[in-house]
Amino acid sequence: MLTLGLSGAVIAQPLTGSGSNLPVPPNLGVPPSEPPALALLDPNNLSFAFTGEWGPPATAPVLSAWSGTFVAFGPIPSSNLNPPGFTDYRNFAGLGATYLPSGTYFVISDVDGGSFTSETLTLMAWDTSNNPVTQPWLAVPQWVWGGAGVGDPNAMPGWSFSGGVYTFTGATVDPGYNPNVALALLSLVDLSRFTVERPSNFCNFGLRAPVPEAGSLALLAAGTAAALCRRRR
């Protein structure tokens, strides 16, 4: 469940340091959330750019801060049908918030030691003043689902955090878990930009916008309104 403080800030334990296996999340299953619809800007060039879109609240249950479109340059960092490479999510002006709000789910999956490849994901981020984020900007995993070994710490990828850079690696995942789990981390900072480096196309990265649960709808709406009000000042 997504939790907001009175200021609208996301409350969750920051992911810091490093370790062989990420902590097993408290929630099993897919978080209450929606992925964006993705579309290539040039269907003939898988490495050029793509758009993502979350529908308006009338047609998709995402909050207005996430409703709209964003643009990323580089390959879609999921599926072995898309090439590996460097992807730059750097235009969120089309979203309701005009930036990627904190409380967004960052989803990584199939980061393991299989397929005879180096399965890693490296992420960097910039705040809404376009400064590199150096403090922890992701929370510990909140949800886990799919694959083999759900609930087993040995199925969780390793991680390191240094100077604002997160690296996730499958080198420490039990070899018996391939494909391994999908897990959702939570962003803690409003972002104007972030990047994903995916050297192998056998692991995956994606975004999901939170969907308010019935009991938390009022709290989420209040927090989002407060965040948008601060942004306009």
Tens-place pLDDT, residues 49-63: 999 999 876 676 898
Q: Which token pair is 46?
A: 């898988």
pLDDT of residue 136: 98
Extract the runs of DSSP E, i.e. beta strands, from the chain.
18-19, 27-28, 33-34, 37-40, 49-54, 68-73, 85-91, 105-109, 120-127, 143-145, 158-162, 165-169, 182-186, 191-198, 204-210
Rg (CA), the chain: 17
Q: Phi, psi (5° rounding) for residue 108?
A: -120, 145
User: 77: cis peptide before it, omega within 30°?
Assistant: no
Give 223's contacts (C-beta < 8 A, 6+ positions apart).
4, 5, 7, 8, 9
With tokens 């710490």, the residue in question is: 153
pLDDT tens readout for residues 124-178 = 999 999 999 999 999 999 999 997 789 999 999 999 999 999 999 999 999 888 8
For residue 19, pLDDT over 90 is answered with: yes
Does the model's pTM come out above 0.75? yes
